[in-house]
Structure 1
């Protein structure tokens, strides 16, 4: 009889070894920063959290550090388990350079800025947030919009529920079951994910021509293990699908890639 435990361990090990480069680096950064936060000589969480009242030109780094810092071991573990497969799928479709540029750029700063504005200007409160859950809900929203294009509804009893609402339902469930979660922060992530999935953020993505030049100039594919090239995807980075018209053109579907992956 097969050893189920051994089989599961082998599958998990194989999956970890196949993770692309940017995903590996983000997992490593979260683990290292969690370990760094154990010491009491320096308050890492206060330094790196997104605190609305402390945001200014000199503390703008918080918009990139807060997703990597967590409250405790279980906070970090839950976010890692949720984030890793979603980020791995994103990187495998859009490439390592694109993932790094987007997640240390607009896909983090847009929800962060939205959260700070809502907290300071509208709600007039100052609730610090940290953790990768904003990334998780952002990526879930991207997946939900992708699924909605092919499967608009799922049935619960006799009710047809739109597929795109799944991340919103998960935000509500998370807020109800897990204490101290940021409902507003998760909503900011969901909103940004919807914009990304609908293609409204394609203008802020780095130009593919420049990415190819950087990859070729530095020979990143040959030098970096587990690196995903911008060309290791089906039908291009922005989901350019074959056209059915006689003109031989192509249709842009926005920032929604193919479901077939040719990368690692």
Structure 2
């Protein structure tokens, strides 16, 4: 969000933010309608990080490409929870963080179409990314190396490579199905608790965001933490979405391949206990 916002300011371009529905999911019809012949870049998340909705990237890319726009996909929330085929979805660029797929922090992956990478100028200058250096002019290496100036994050690359190898060999459709079942279990359990608001919908992927009426999300998260339940509370780097939902923040539970139904039941029971504690219910 922020890089495109700032680029638009520098280039005096129009920065259009797609609207969301009351449950926090993206309004796909409005998004597609916003893509016009004047559109240059469409930047979307394959899976959003609060409501957990999955966007139809192939459909969005088809509309964008029809008007000559480039499609940039944030895959951080998607890559560990579903099968990803960047070419099939029509992504021109696809990015994700290493720690989102059980790898180290401080490193990630950016896929880009070869013809676009060849056309674009480098963003940093230094060793390895050059072809030839003279007093008055320098030329750049071809391909991805043009964008990898200086000494690479060698330890991070090795760690991320190991994580990707493990993920490819160990995580399968059954693991993805288990995550879906856990999301369904949690959504149903939270929805049955009075005073709890659950965002997103039944198609939410790997993430469930919720609030307890009258209780700040940080207080609820602290209560859960004392029950040895780890959640995240805050605006989740999505302050514009929080403003549209009319809340300061949410509590978010995120699932991985290590979670099971007992974890979900413990969380549901802990939220029930938090409601009794904060609302003074015996």
Which TM class, normalised by the smaller chain length?
under 0.3
Which of the pair is proportionally richer in strand? 2
TM-score (norm. length: structure 1) = 0.23
TM-score (norm 2): 0.22
More helix by share: 1
| Bigger Cα Rg | 2
Identify the structure with bigger relative contact order (alpha carbons < 8 Å, sequence gap 6+). 1
